[in-house]
Amino acid sequence: MGVPSTGLLSLKGIFNEVAVNNYSSTKSPENASLTDLSDGTEGAINQTQLPHNRPDGNQPHAMSEFYAYDNNADYPGLFGDDWEDGDIGDGSRTNFHTLGHELAESGDLDSSELNVSFVDNSNGFLAPGTFDDRPVWTHSPSNPSLDTDNDVRFTNTNSPQGNWLKSTDWTSVSWAGALTTATMAFAYRWRFFMNSTNNKDGIIDVRMNTTNHPNPGISTQTYQIQVRDNADPQTGAVRLARRSSTSVTTLAQSPSGAYTIGTTMDFVFSVHEATTFGNPRTLKVGVGPTTVSTPAIINSYNKVSAVDTNYVTNYGWNFRSPKAMSTPSSTHFHKYSFIYTTIVTV
Amino acid sequence: MIVSGSDGNLYWDNLEGQLTGSLYKTKWVSWTDTEFDDDGETNHEPGILFDTDNNIYWADVQWNQAHVFSGSNIIPTYSEDTNEGCIWVYQLTDDQKTTIENDAQFIAKLVDSNL
């Protein structure tokens, strides 16, 4: 049980929440210091809690900073990474209890937006079993790699299948099973940057089975979100397509400028289940400012929308770039800062 | 949003009237894209919007595949067997409509405006 979100708080209760994960414990500490509780001296502060639900560690300390704090709660998303532990995904990861997540930490969203965007879901159908752990990723041999900001950077390669970074410990999630009302959406949000003179499209693969395409980076069934680069007449257009083996059928496309190349913007791929007309499933891609909540990007910054029910179970995620990107790599790259997956109300 | 087509069928516009859309039936075209894989991938695009000489879209517009009512359900209009299907195309200019209707892949205009 965590700290209450309103009303009077007791220092004893806060101590017990930090010490034994139970605000209501009958234990009576002999010496309880608000400073020690707030700055992590008494026990590490759970960084999975959103910034407004945990102490900031700075003077002056206040008991009110502990409103709604839960010392042992997991991260409220279903799947996410920001690589802020300095590991691209194939090493020993640092969990979210220790570092939190960039989308929450950077102050991009205010408290009310975070409360809407970060909907706790305890279905538990995603590996690795708790939402505290970061995913495992596998990547193409030459790159991507992390830059000095711990963002994933894709640059030039001569590999015939380009570069990729795919999650590998995600079991599966059925969109139809997870969404129980038409006002819910399964939302995947990621932060993206492409240079204005990049000359290569970027692709996201929403992996809908586990059979590898000849390209080991992707599977034979995917929904594919493609961002067109400056070499394309429709620069910045977003294409949504469905892959079956080596056949790729376009479902929808935006006009140019859905994404403004040379800028950092947040993408949201969202899945919506209807309850009428045979329960069709709608797939949407929104592209919006980094400071806007996930539901707002879905509702107000939609770029493409398509009905498709061919695939329903998501097995993982993949970022991808083609070979022969322009050089030098210092000024020609794709960059991903984080990905975060949750269920939101729209 | 349900929209009545000139062929007597009812079509589903999943943008719900947010943009002015026209509904076209078109042949689809296929081309081999080697940008992401040297072995090539076969892309399928709506013929009335795609320039097969240059393998790019000639029209800078928003579009999506359309669905038609069958009983109380909606089903895809695009068929891989016939390589035909319907698409909603949004915010078209009169010149763009003329170009589409003169395209070799054009089959029919089913809705001129959904609003």
Determine the pLDDT at residue A283. 98
Q: How many angstroms separate the CA atoms of A179 and A172, rounded?
A: 14
Total residue length of chain A = 346
Question: Taking the alpha carbons of A290, A296, A299, A300 in that order, is the dihedral positive or negative?
Answer: negative
Determine the pLDDT at residue A119. 66
- The helix/strand/coil state of A40 is coil
Domain ranges, residue A15: 11-66
CA A285 to chain centre: 14
Is 0.95 exceeded by the ipTM? Answer: yes
Q: What is the CATH number of the domain that holds A294?
A: 2.60.120.560
User: Could you read off the pLDDT tens digit of each residue along chain B, which spans 115 residues?
Assistant: 999 999 999 999 999 889 999 999 999 999 999 999 999 999 999 999 999 999 999 999 999 999 999 999 999 999 999 999 999 999 999 999 999 999 999 999 999 988 8
Q: What is the CA radius of gyration of chain B?
A: 15
Closest CA to A203 of A325, A320, A339: A320
B26, B34, B36: which to substitute to probe chain A, counting the most A Cβ within 10 Å? B36
- A266 and A173 in a single domain? The answer is yes
B62, A253: Cβ pair inside 8 Å?
A: yes
Query: Nearest CB to B37: which of A161, A200, A282?
Result: A161
Contacts of B37 in chain A (CB under 8 A): 160-162, 214-215, 246
* Structural domain contains residue A194: yes
- A104 and A46 in a single domain? The answer is no
Residues 242-261 on A with a CB inside 8 Å of B are 243, 246-256
Determine the pLDDT at residue A124. 44
B36, A252: Cβ pair inside 8 Å?
A: no
Distances (CA, A) of A100 to A8, A118, A237: 27, 13, 33
| Total domains present in chain A | 2
* Structural domain contains residue A6: no
Give pLDDT < 50 ranges for chain A: 123-128
Determine the pLDDT at residue A276. 87
* Structural domain contains residue A262: yes
